[in-house]
A and B are shown apart, each in its own frame.
Chain A
Amino acid sequence: MVEAITPIALQNDETILLPERIGDLTGLDQFGVGGELLAAFLAAFIVGNLMLAMTGVAGPWAKRKITAAFTDRIAVNRLGPAGLFIIVADSVRLLSKELVIPEQADRPAYDLAPIVVAASALLGFAVIPMGSGIHLADPEVGLAYVFAIAGIASIGLMMAGYASSNKYSLLGGLRAVAQNIAYEIPLVVTGLSVVIFAGSLQMSTIVEAQAATLVPLGPIDIPAWYALVNPFAFVLFLVANFAEVGRNPFDMPEAPTEIVAGYQTEYSSVYFVLIYLGEFLHIFLGGAIIATIFLGGPAGPGPAELGIVWFLIKIWAVFLLTQWLRSAVPRVRIDQMIEIGWKGLLVLSFANLLLTAAIVGLIT
């Protein structure tokens, strides 16, 4: 226990990040700053596309299949094995639709909103260590960066809601902002309790700190994943995260039966795809943050090269959880959600922070 929570303050310079490795492999690093930039671009391209591909699978196919399993149906199965080619069909369908833009839309804001939503999530993946050497950047303020960049999405939602010139969208945008403000603070404060354990905001350090053994259990060592060290914080973080990304039971900003999909009502074609992708990316980013700071990042049995596999499994597990909740949990009302946020989670998260601080302080 003591070992597990001993802060590791040092930078670990030995970590090789993906851009450097690509620079090495392709020889781009010989060309100075330009070459490094190109290598970094290549690395970002790989990671970004990996994540986009995942949302591509999740949106048109996995979500349908999972929902169908919960509801005793068959779902897509005509195109390709297990209906997988529906992804292609859906992409063609969505992208070939007419882009309808409301006459009174506030143009730059209306056009920017989908990009902001999707980009903010993609940028977040830059600091996530995904194992197998896939790690784009490792700044000292990694965790703060990822919260900050994910928070930008609510600006995008607000822009979408306001600029659509639709009352339903406006309500959705306002709900999104209210929800994000109410849950951002508990989210960050709960994240801080992890920082107290790890003693660093750097993602790689947080992951490494979780590699220690919590309880030796015969041949298997239970690792000191913070979800196991502090399950209370883990649950708090999960709940706040679902609210943050707007999933059930906190899918108020969309709420199709109430405000007709809220901020995305007026979006069609490419813009709709971007918003939709952005939402899934945010689920995955939420999953990535949870995996990194609570579930030991890419850690798992087997050789270290399998890190990315374990990492993806953890992300998909969080995704599956959102879909599971969607099948069984009703949406709370807007006032109840705000109450849960301000009166419940905020208080609990501060209590959790104080307790953690006290315990860590006593031990060290």
Chain B
Amino acid sequence: MIGILKSMATTMKHALDGSTFTVEYPETAPDVSPRFRGVHKFSQERCIWCRQCENVCPNDTIQIVMDDQRNGEQYNLHIGQCIYCRLCEEVCPVDAILLTQNFEFTADTKHDFVYNKEQLKAVPWYKDIDPLESREPDRGAWIGEGEGEVDYQ
């Protein structure tokens, strides 16, 4: 009986203190750790088309199309199929692909999640966190670089 009363007292204490641990999303956007892995951002300016990301990807999420001169033509990434393992970023020698903190993405069909390089470039930064700085502090910042239209050189 005492045990029952004790458990009732415990829950009542919680009811009366009025504190909540849930938040009103999206009004209160959650804090995301700088290392958090969200949607990719791709910079064609940096990319050297070495295809290492395509090779390392565990479930064939990245598709690179090149012409016969080995010039890069397409860089497609299915953000709905991606398992967000960050291996592409890890193997990239020039930091051309980064995982931003952005986890908010929606689409009407799953096919809309196939991002091409323009869409990948336009992925917004989440709360202006620079992932590169937080992950590999010696490599310098990425943020602010490569904004705007894709430069086709």
Contacts and interface: CB of A to CB of B under 8 A. Distances in A.
Interface of A: 66, 68-74, 77, 324-325, 327-329
B4 A70 contact: no
Contacts of A71: 14
B11 A70 contact: yes
27 contacts: A66-B15, A69-B14, A70-B14, A70-B15, A71-B14, A72-B14, A72-B20, A72-B21, A73-B20, A73-B21, A73-B22, A74-B20, A74-B23, A74-B24, A77-B24, A324-B8, A324-B11, A324-B12, A324-B15, A325-B8, A327-B11, A328-B4, A328-B7, A328-B8, A328-B10, A329-B4, A329-B8
Given A327-B11, A329-B7, 20 more contacts: A66-B15, A68-B20, A69-B18, A70-B11, A70-B14, A71-B14, A72-B14, A72-B20, A72-B22, A73-B20, A73-B21, A74-B20, A324-B11, A324-B12, A324-B15, A325-B8, A327-B8, A328-B4, A328-B8, A328-B11
A324 B10 CA distance: 11
A129 B12 CA distance: 31
B69 interface: no
Nearest to A326: B11
B4 A74 contact: no
A72 B19 CA distance: 6
Contacts of A68: 20
Contacts of A329: 4, 7-8
B10 to A, nearest CB: 7
- 4 closest cross-chain pairs (CB), A and B: A69-B15, A328-B7, A327-B11, A328-B11
Contacts of A77: 24
Most buried by A among B10, B22, B24: B22
B127 to A, nearest CB: 23
Contacts of B4: 328-329
Most buried by A among B11, B14, B18, B22: B11
Contacts of B12: 70, 324
Most buried by A among B15, B20, B23: B15
